[in-house]
Amino acid sequence: MKPLANVFGADDNDTYPYTYQAVVNILNEDDSIQVSYFADTICGLITFLNKRHEDPDRTRVFEIYRGQETLIPSLCYLKADGSWYSRQELCHPMTSRYGKPGREGDCPFQGRSHCVT
Q: What is the pLDDT of residue 60?
A: 95
When pLDDT is cut at 50, 70 and 90, the band that residue 115 belongs to is: very low
Strands (E), the chain: 19-27, 30-39, 59-65, 68-71
Tell me which residue of 113, 114, 94 sits closest to 104, measured CA to CA.
94
Q: Which tens digit of pLDDT belongs to each residue from 50-81? A: 999 999 999 999 989 888 899 999 988 999 99
When pLDDT is cut at 50, 70 and 90, the band that residue 98 belongs to is: low
Mean pLDDT of 87-111: 61
Round to the nearest angstrom and report the end-to-end CA distance of the chain: 26
Q: Is the pTM of this model over 0.75?
A: no
